[in-house]
Amino acid sequence: MSVTNTWKVYTQPMNIIKRMWEWFLVIISRNKQQTNKHVAMMEPSCKTNLPTSDVLVESILKNELIRQSTSLNLIASENLVSEAVLKVQNNVFINKRADGYPGYRHYEGCGFVDELEKVVIDRAKRLFKCKYANVQPYSGSQMNQAVMLTLLSPGDTIMRMHLEWDGHLTHGLATNISGMWFNTVTYGVDPKTGTIDMNNVLNCAIRHRPKLIIVGSTSYPRTIDWKAFRRVADIVDSFLLADISHIAGLIVTGLQPSPIDHCDVVTTTTHESLKGPCSGLILSNNQELSKHISTTLFPRLQDGPMINVMVATAVALLEAKQDEYRTWSTIVVENAKAMAKRFKNRKIDIVSNGTDNHLVIIDLKKLGITDKQVTSWLDRCYITTNKTDISNHLLSTDVVSGLRLGTYACTSRGMRRDVFEKMADMIADILLEIKNKGEVSLPLKTKTRMVVLGLADKYPICYNV
């Protein structure tokens, strides 16, 4: 075909359209190839599985799961989240910044963040039956700091439960920032009954006229009279803060009275009784106060929320509304009572002579042994516990004389009162042997380990790393 004829063919309308279409396809193909090159470059960092990218971290995670699965956890401030909470915390919101509050963000692209935060706020308000909730605190420290920075000026006086009487370090302990900024006075419990002495609380309040009274502890096994504290706060014209981190789940299920209607502000973590991730909630019925606290939390104290954690909090709060959660909470208290009764039968002293919640506090003074001896030997027997202070102890001031036990985590594994009675017997055997011999013999250690491993195998933790 001549050049002239060829040109005539290609210049015909249909041939021109066909040729243009072919060129278009070539361009698209080249662009696609170039795009695939970029995707191939991105995929290793975005999609690589952990075992192939970081063998060391993967091994640590697996070893921690083995430790949790093969031991009995009686640490009162720990629990087991559901598999749903565990999985959902790993989500795409980890890539998003969202400083601010719903409708008022410092970044674009926060429409779904706003939607999520509104859901968490609504669930918190419904669960605790309050009017206002801030769900952004990273932890218990930030939630309490936000309240203090809102209500107090540096040098103002806080009245709290003494750490020796189960108070918390974020409530004004000298070595904590709350104790560095504010003047702190303390109230305690009746040394005979182990319960809060309201006369002592009133006298302390009248003497020191605190601007803020904090109610709540890490190791108080009895029911708190919120109304009585409200009366004291009104007498001295003080703000009243309830930190219910340890018993929030028991409160929302009606097993403990709620402080919402009696306190200016209520704070709680979500990782203990609520079986959620590590975060905090600030609750109130006071609109104006809630606005000031929110402004204090952001931007004065912390920046944007950890949105991926907020997702897990949303799921945990929803789970806490279910009938199964109330059943679990009821069993938590039953297990603690069964354990306390068993210890008393074994002549082991229990603070306040019993419990109303998840806590069992053992007084080690009469046994003449220290917390460090006990927690170390229990850990070697695969029973995980922690120490606590006991008032008026006769040991040296740097020795903690109490053992704190909690029933949350093991109840979450499905264990019931008969298992907790067995655990109490194992712990009693170890305590008495330390008292008599100064250590735990190899036969008792071996026997205890075998029983613990048997229980751990019967009540597994069903997680995959």
Banded pLDDT at 245 (limits 50, 70, 90)? very high
Which SS3 state, helix, strand or coil, does residue 206 take? helix
Helix pair 371-380, 417-437: axis angle to 10 deg: 120
Asked whether residue 349 carries a pLDDT value surpassing 60, the answer given is yes
pLDDT at 16: 55
Asked whether residue 462 carries a pLDDT value surpassing 90, the answer given is no
- Over range 178-203, report the average pLDDT: 90
Least confident of 127-131, 137-141, 191-195: 191-195
- Over range 302-328, report the average pLDDT: 97
From the list 262, 292, 294, 291, the residue with the least C-alpha distance to 281 is 294
| 8 Å CB contact between 133 and 125 | yes
Tell me 159's DSSP state. Answer: E
pLDDT at 177: 79
- Over range 437-464, report the average pLDDT: 94
Instruction: Supply 191's token pair.
Output: 């040394």
- 78-105 pLDDT, tens per residue? 999 999 999 999 999 999 999 999 999 9
Asked whether residue 70 carries a pLDDT value surpassing 60, the answer given is yes
Instruction: Supply 202's token pair.
Output: 């009133």
pLDDT at 408: 98
Q: Cα(463)–Cα(195) distance, rounded to whole angstroms?
A: 39
Instruction: Supply 27's token pair.
Output: 């361009």
pLDDT at 168: 74
- Over range 39-61, report the average pLDDT: 68
Looking only at the bridges linking them, the beta strands covering 72-73 and 383-384 are parallel
Banded pLDDT at 396 (limits 50, 70, 90)? very low
Residue 162 CB contacts under 8 Å (≥ 6 apart), including other chains: 186, 187, 188, 391
Least confident of 4-8, 222-226, 348-352: 4-8
pLDDT at 50: 63
CATH topology of 91-319 equal to that of 333-458?
no
Output the CA angle 107-112-113, nearest 5 degrees.
Answer: 55
Q: Cα(347)–Cα(345) distance, rounded to whole angstroms?
A: 5
Residue 387 CB contacts under 8 Å (≥ 6 apart), including other chains: 371, 372, 374, 375, 400, 402, 403, 404
Asked whether residue 49 carries a pLDDT value surpassing 80, the answer given is no
pLDDT at 362: 95
**Residue type at 263 in one-letter notation:** C
Across the chain, mean pLDDT equals: 88
Looking at domain 91-319, its CATH class is: alpha beta
Binding residue numbers: 163, 167-169
| 8 Å CB contact between 116 and 93 | yes
Asked whether residue 38 carries a pLDDT value surpassing 50, the answer given is no
Asked whether residue 423 carries a pLDDT value surpassing 60, the answer given is yes
The DSSP annotation for 291-335 comes to: HHHHHIIIIII--S--HHHHHHHHHHHHHTTSHHHHHHHHHHHHH
Domain boundaries, given as residue ranges, for the chain: 91-319, 333-458
Q: Cα(461)–Cα(71) distance, rounded to whole angstroms?
A: 10
Q: Which CATH superfamily is domain 333-458 in?
A: Aspartate Aminotransferase, domain 1 (3.90.1150.10)
Output the CA angle 430-433-438, nearest 5 degrees.
Answer: 110
| 8 Å CB contact between 236 and 209 | yes
Banded pLDDT at 59 (limits 50, 70, 90)? very high
Tell me 463's DSSP state. Answer: -
pLDDT at 219: 87
- Over range 334-342, report the average pLDDT: 98
Asked whether residue 433 carries a pLDDT value surpassing 90, the answer given is yes
Q: Is the dihedral of CA 36, 37, 43, 46 positive or negative?
A: negative
| Model pTM above 0.85 | yes
Asked whether residue 395 carries a pLDDT value surpassing 50, the answer given is no
Instruction: Supply 254's token pair.
Output: 């009606």
Binding residue numbers for (6S)-5,6,7,8-tetrahydrofolate: 163, 167-169
Q: Cα(61)–Cα(67) distance, rounded to whole angstroms?
A: 10
**In Å, how far from its chain's centre is CA 170?**
15
100 forms beta bridges with 105
pLDDT at 163: 64
pLDDT at 145: 94
Asked whether residue 2 carries a pLDDT value surpassing 50, the answer given is no
